[in-house]
Amino acid sequence: MFGQVEAVGASMRVSSPKKMGLPARAFVIMLRMAPGGIQNRMWKWWYQKMAKANDDSAFRFMNYGFEDGKGPELEDVDEPNRMFIQLYSMNIRGVDIEGKQVLEVGSGRGGGASWIAKTHSPTKLIGVDFSAKAVGHCKQWYADQTNLEFIEGNAQSLPFEDETFDVVYNVESSHCYGDMSAFVSQAYRVLKPGGMFCWTDLRDSKTMDTLPSVFKSKGFEIVESADVVQEVICALDEINEAKMKAIEEQVPQSVRRSFETFAGIKGTPVYEGFVSGSMAYHRHLMRKP
Contact between 62 and ligand SAM (CB under 6 A)? yes
Separation between Cα atoms, residue 15 and residue 268, nearest integer Å: 10
> Binding ligand SAM by CB under 6 A: which of 90, 102, 117, 155?
155
Candidates 68-76, 173-181, 204-212, 213-221 — which segment interacts with ligand SAM by CB under 6 A? Answer: 173-181
Using CB under 6 A, which of 67, 78, 166, 172 touches ligand SAM? 172
Beta carbons of 170 and 105 less than 8 angstroms apart: yes
How many chain residues bind ligand SAM (CB under 6 A)?
Answer: 25
CB 202 within 8 Å of CB 281? yes
Which class for 166: exposed (0-12), middle (13-18), buried (19 or more C-beta within 10 A)? buried
**Per CB under 6 A, 269 contacts ligand SAM:** no
Cβ contacts of residue 70 below 8 Å, gap of 6+?
none
Judged by CB under 6 A, which of 54, 154, 186, 261 binds ligand SAM?
154
Question: Residue 81 has what DSSP assignment?
Answer: G
Site map 98..137 versus ligand SAM, x via CB under 6 A: --------xxx--xx----------------xxx--x---
Spatial CB neighbours of 128, under 8 Å, sequence gap ≥ 6: 103, 104, 105, 106, 107, 150, 151, 152, 153, 155, 158, 159
* Binder of ligand SAM out of 8, 117, 229, 263 (CB under 6 A): 8
Q: Which residue's CB is nearer to ligand SAM, number 37 or number 99?
A: 37
Contact residues toward ligand SAM (CB under 6 A) are 8-9, 40, 43, 47, 61-63, 106-108, 111-112, 129-131, 134, 154-156, 171-173, 176-177
